[in-house]
Amino acid sequence: MLDSSFAALVPILCVTLAAVAALFAEAFRRRGEQMPIGGLGVIGLGFALAGCVVLWNRNATSLGAIEADNFGLFVSAVICITGLLTIAFSGQVIRRDGLPAGEYYALTLFALAGMIIMAVASDLLTIFLALEILSIAVYALTGLHRDSPGSSEAAFKYFLLGAFSSAFFLYGVALTYVLTGSTQLADIAAWMGNEGLNVTPMMLFAAGLLLVGFAFKISAVPFHMWTPDAYEGAPTVVTGFMSTGVKAAAFAAFIRVFLSAYEPLRADWTPVLWGIAMLTMIVGTVVGVAQSNLKRMLAYSSIAHAGYLLVGLVAANEIGRASILFYLLVYAVTNLGAFGIIALLSTVERPHEELRDFAGLWHVRPGLAALMAVFLLSLGGLPPTAGFVAKWYVFSAAVRAGFYDLAIVGMLTSVISVFFYLRVVVMMYMAEPAEAKARPSVGALPLAALVVSTAALFYLGILPTRVIDLAAASVGTIF
C-alpha cells in the first residue's frame, strides 16, 4: 500500500514521467526512425487513470498543497480520457502533416500534467504554477505548425493575452495572501468565514482579479477574444485538446476557489457571474451562427458551452455542482470527436475546415458523416445524446436555485445553436460535392476512438444516473 503522502502524487507523476520519456525518446531517435512515442503517453495516462481509481475514497493529501479527493480524481479522470482520445487521433495526423512527434507528445503530456495538478491543488500558488505549466505547453502546441503564418499568429495572440490574464490571477493570489496570511484554500475559507458580514472592497477586488484569470481560461465573455483566432490557427488536434482539457482543469480550480475559499462572498460574486454567464451564452451562440469556418464555429460553440457551465456554478446547489462535472465529461468526449473528424479529414494542402468542405461527405465517407452528425447533435443538446442530459441537469439546477432567467436564456440559445450544428449535417447529407476531392483514409485506431466516443455519448444520454451520482458524490467531498 502506498504511503498516503506520496499516493496523491501518483497520477501527476505517471503523466510527468511519460512526458519526460517522450522527450528522451525524441532526443535519442535516429533521423528517419519511426518510434511509437504516442504509446508512452498511452501508458502514462493509463497508469494515471488507474491511479485515480485506486485513490478513490482515500482523500490522500501531499505537500499540503495537493489533495486527491474524489472531486479532483473525477476531473483528473476526465483529463486522462481527454489525453487518451487526443493521442488516438494524433498519430495519423502527425505522420501526414509532418509535425514533430516527440515535441508534440511531450508538450501534450506536460500540459496534461499541469491540468491534473490544477484539478487536485488546494493552494492558490499551486493552482497558479499548474496554470502556467499547462498554458506554456498549450502556447507552444498552438504554434507547432512553424511554417504556417496563421499558426504563429494564433500562438502569439494566445501567449500575449494569456500572460495578461495570468498577471491578473497572480495579483489576486498576492492580494488574497495579504488579506488572509495564507494561500491555502482551507485557511482562506476559514478567514473569510470569520469575517462574516465584514466584507471589504479589498476582499472583493481580490475575488475579482481571480475571476478574470479563470474567465480567460474558460473563454467566458468578455475575456473570450483569443478563442476564435487560437482555435483556427492551431493544428486541429491541438484545438480539440485545448478546448476540452483546459476547460476541465480551469473549472475544477474555479469551483474549488469560489465555492470553497471564497464561498462566504457568494452573495457578492454571484451577480457578476450571472452577468458573465448570460453574456457568454448569448455572444457564443449569436456570433457562432455567422461562422462558415467550422473551427471558428466550434470556438464560439465552446464559448457558449462555457456559459452553460457557468450556469451550474451560479446555481451552486448540489445538482449544479454535479452537473458541471457531468457536463465536462460529456463535452470532452463530444468536442474531441468533432475536432477529431475535422483533423482526420484535413491535410496541410487542403484543410477540411470550411462548411462547404463537408458537402456530400455522406456519399464518400458515410461512417464519418454519421459519427459527425452524432457529435454535432450532442453539442446541440438533442436527445438521446448525452448533450441533452448535460444541459437538462444544468438548467434544472438553475431553476431549483431560482435563476429562471438563466435557464430560459440557456434553453433559447441552445435552440438557436442547433441551427449552426444542423447546417453541417444538412451539408453532409443533402448537398452534392462541389468537385471530386480525395479525402484521406482513416486508420483503425482513430476510427475505434470515434466509435467508442459515440457509444459513450449514447450510454450517458440513455443511462446517465450512475455517472451523475458519482459526480454528485465526488463534489460532496469538498463541501
In 3D space, the residue among 236, 24, 20, 40 whose CA is nearest the CA of residue 110 turns out to be 20
Of 289, 144, 168, 290, nearest to 217 (Cα)? 168
Structural contact between residues 101 and 130, judged by C-beta atoms closer than 8 angstroms:
no
Does pLDDT of 428 surpass 60? yes
What are the pLDDT digits (tens) for 188-204?
989 988 866 677 889 99
How far apart, in Å, are the Cα atoms of 78 and each of 24, 215, 221, 310, 322? 27, 20, 25, 18, 14
pLDDT higher than threshold 60 for residue 3: no
Please give the share of the chain, as a percent, with pLDDT higher than 90.
Answer: 62
Q: How far apart (Å, rounded) are the C-alpha atoms in residues 93 and 248? A: 24
d(CA 187, CA 123): 10
Q: Give yes or no for a contact between 308 and 402, defined as CB atoms under 8 angstroms apart.
A: no
Q: Which of 329, 340, 278, 334 is nearest to 303 (CA)?
A: 278
Report which of 105, 98, 101, 89 is spatially closest to residue 442, judged by C-alpha positions. 89
Quick one: which of 347, 112, 142 has its CA closest to 228? 142
- The mean per-residue pLDDT over the stretch 37-58 comes to 93
HSE-CB at 345 with a 13 A cutoff on CA atoms is: 24
pLDDT top residue among 33 and 58: 58
Question: Based on the number of CB atoms within 10 Å of its own CB, is 476 exposed (0-12), middle (13-18) or buried (19 or more)?
Answer: middle
Task: Write out pLDDT tens, residues 455-469.
Answer: 999 999 999 999 999
Distance CA 348, CA 321 (A): 41
What distance lies between CA 3 and its chain's CA centroid? 31
The string of pLDDT tens digits covering residues 317-350 is 888 889 999 999 999 999 999 999 999 888 766 7
What is the tens place of the pLDDT at every residue in 364-380?
888 999 999 999 999 99
pLDDT band at 357 (very low <50, low <70, confident <90, very high): confident
Confidence (pTM): 0.94
Q: How far apart are CA 15 and CA 76, in angstroms?
A: 11
Q: What is the mean pLDDT of residues 10-37?
A: 85
How does 282-315 read in b/e, with b if 16+ C-beta sit within 10 Å? bbbbebbeebebbbbbbbbbbbbbbbbbbbbbbb
Tell me which of 115-119, 206-210, 337-341, 430-434 is least confident: 430-434
Exposure of 18 in the CB half-sphere (CA atoms within 13 A): 32
How far apart are alpha carbons 329 and 336 in whole angstroms? Answer: 11
CA-CA distance, 117 to 61, in Å (whole number)? 12
pLDDT digits (tens, 9 = 90+) for 145-181: 877 788 888 899 899 889 889 999 999 999 999 999 9
Candidates 133, 126, 131, 129; CA nearest to 184 is 126
User: 18, 83 in Cβ contact below 8 A?
Assistant: no
Q: Is 187 exposed, middle or buried (0-12, 13-18, 19+ CB in 10 A)?
A: middle
| φ/ψ of residue 67, rounded to 5 | -130, 100
Are residues 287 and 444 in contact, defined by beta-carbon separation less than 8 angstroms? no
